[in-house]
A and B are shown apart, each in its own frame.
Chain A
Amino acid sequence: MERVEFRLSGSGGQGLITGGIILAEAAIIDGLNAVQSQSYGPEARGGASKSEVIIDKAEIDYPKVNKCDVLLSLTQVSCDKYLKDLRSGGILIIDESIELPERQDIKVYRVPIINIAVTKLNKPMVANIVALGIINVITNIVSNESLEKAVLTRVPKGTEDLNKAALTEGFKLLD
């Protein structure tokens, strides 16, 4: 397996940093190497937030993402901001609320991530977990079992069933 670089983007408060941590933890459970980092504006809520995860079988030296292989965007603002950093041939996963970008050199998945979280799970804050499910269906980067295990260790106690359901919805999103 070669180095794969993910950028999860949206607005502050959407749980994307937690999402990145979970993805990195799942990779480690699978015996891979992972580096996670993040950056966010001064705002705790709103603004553009990004979480980066690098997964590789080999040791990871350079810890930053320059041109990502996979970009997740949950808001139009973050998609507009980070789309240029998605490499040619990369994968873009966007919420259905985001306009289809004009780039022809990438593969785009436009899916109702937030809508599923709101209508099916009644909790908009699990959109990040739904997103992890769909990311893994598309990229197959970690095993579903490890991803579920990582989700369940990281989410607050008492929300395990909800988050498990969110992950399952994510897994089904392309069906």
Chain B
Amino acid sequence: MTDQIEKPSTATVDAKRARLAARSSRRDTIAAYVFLTPYLILLAMFGIIPISYAFGLSFMDTITMEFWGLANYEFVFSDFRIPSSISNVLSYVGVWLAMTLLLVVALSLMLDNINRRSATIFRSIYFLPGAVTSSAVVVLWLFILDPSVSPFQPLLHLVGWEIRADVITGLTLPVVFAIMTYFSQSGGWIVVLGGSLSTVPSEVIEAARIDGANRFQLATRIKLPMIWRSVVLMGILCFAQGLQIFVEPQLMMLAGPQFAQNDWSLNQMVFQYAFLMGDFGASAALSVMLIGVSISIALIVIFATRFYKLD
């Protein structure tokens, strides 16, 4: 009892502090996990468990549940439609990624140059099409690309496109789908890049301006290098998303059966295997390969650019 009224030694004070610090950091960790839990549960339910299930399924005959080794993978590789689907998807991803990287970055940098209020209005306008579901966007575009009902009729006629088939063969399908996705997705990314541009310290901008940088130099030499991580992130996510193109080609038949493209993309093949042929094993095999490609590319980009390294 008497100990308590004695002045505590410095050693015990330090120990107490350390204990308090440890306790608070432990509390922080616990809090972090509590906040993360809902996400982790959802990730497990809709990400990790289905992927593991598909991974297992891809080595099985799904009727007898026998182990089949690589038979499902062999089946997928022997399908004559796979090479053309791969080239379709790659040309689409190429066009869309180029459009997104160039136009979204350019628009974001330009919006950063005008006053804050107008920029916010523009960003909201750009974001609006993204609020419409992609299936609705496809239907909308099928009208826009039909010279008989399109608001851009004079423009389409100017190029010599009289009917929808002309427009689609003229633009080619990868470009048509890239345009459809660009207009539904770019708004969101313009908002994201706007957010990361606002983190560029104003003193850096000031300094550059004093050094005589014009607006173009400011954008390309100062701002762009400071937001490159967001641009890379956009690239990775768009690539992974682009590989999964499904809705756009699948809904082409809404323009008429002669426009139907039921085996255009790889994800449509996944769908065909599972739901037309009832072959869930082959479907899982192709899905596993698709996610494998996405993950490997993400890892390469992350490690090659040392994405998570703090400056």
Q: Do A and B come from one complex?
A: no
- B residues contacting A by CB (< 8 A) are none
- A residues contacting B by CB (< 8 A) are none
